[in-house]
């Protein structure tokens, strides 16, 4: 599979949020990245051209502001998840199905994917999610509801779950 980076340039913009600045990235196929500054597994955004007027990046920033203001619970954006492996993409698609204000465990996701022994692999895929908030990896918890790691930082995960009244 050819990655979007090989076929079309990725562009970026910065979005401010109550939890810190975020880098947004888009390919020709759609939004391909949303990372908090300093987030684990974030690629170097300096490799991409700054294009704050890109329509997908503008729409993402607008929808993120509405989310943080508790004015929306959904995102309606074209997404490009092609930068992940097939397994990662299947996990990320499952994350998109977790409703606002609801949490699921890594084990529940593994069972949904018919791979009940794959909780750790699910956790690794969740940690590599390139679309924070949009693909809601913050809604994934450990067994018995334990708050476990979040690539953007555990304090941000708590804040996002509190915003959604899941805590």
Q: pLDDT digit string (tens) for 111-129?
A: 999 999 999 999 999 999 9
Give dist(CA 65, CA 86) in Å, integer.
31
Would the pLDDT of 5 be above 70? Answer: no
Buried b (16+ CB within 10 A) or exposed e, 132-157: bbbbbbbbbbeeeeeebebbbbeebb
Task: CATH number for 4-68: choose from 3.40.50.80, 3.40.190.10, 3.30.160.70, 3.20.20.10.
Answer: 3.30.160.70
Whether residue 157 is predicted with pLDDT greater than 80 in this model: the reply is yes
Topology of domain 86-163, per CATH? Arc Repressor Mutant, subunit A (1.10.10)
Number of neighbouring beta carbons within 10 Å of residue 99: 13
This prediction has a pTM of 0.90
Q: Is 32 a catalytic residue?
A: no
Q: Pick the catalytic residue from 32, 60, 64, 137.
A: 137
**How does the average pLDDT of the chain come out, rounded?**
93
The pLDDT tens digits for 13-62 are: 999 999 999 999 999 999 999 999 999 999 999 999 999 999 999 999 99
């Amino acid at each position: 599979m050819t990655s979007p980076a090989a076929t079309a340039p990725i562009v970026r913009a910065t979005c401010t949020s109550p939890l810190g600045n975020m880098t947004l990235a888009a390919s020709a196929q759609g939004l391909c990245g949303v990372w908090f500054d300093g987030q684990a597994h974030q690629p170097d955004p300096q490799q991409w051209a700054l294009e704050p007027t890109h329509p997908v990046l503008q729409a993402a920033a607008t929808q993120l502001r509405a989310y943080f203001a508790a004015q929306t619970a959904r995102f309606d954006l074209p997404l490009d998840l092609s930068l992940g492996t097939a397994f990662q993409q299947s996990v990320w698609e499952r994350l998109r199905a977790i409703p606002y204000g609801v949490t699921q465990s890594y084990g529940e996701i593994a069972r949904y994917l018919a791979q009940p022994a794959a909780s750790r692999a699910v956790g690794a895929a969740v940690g590599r999610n390139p679309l924070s908030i949009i693909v809601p990896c913050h809604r994934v918890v450990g067994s018995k509801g334990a708050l476990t790691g979040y690539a953007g930082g555990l304090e941000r995960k708590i804040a996002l779950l509190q915003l959604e009244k899941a805590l």
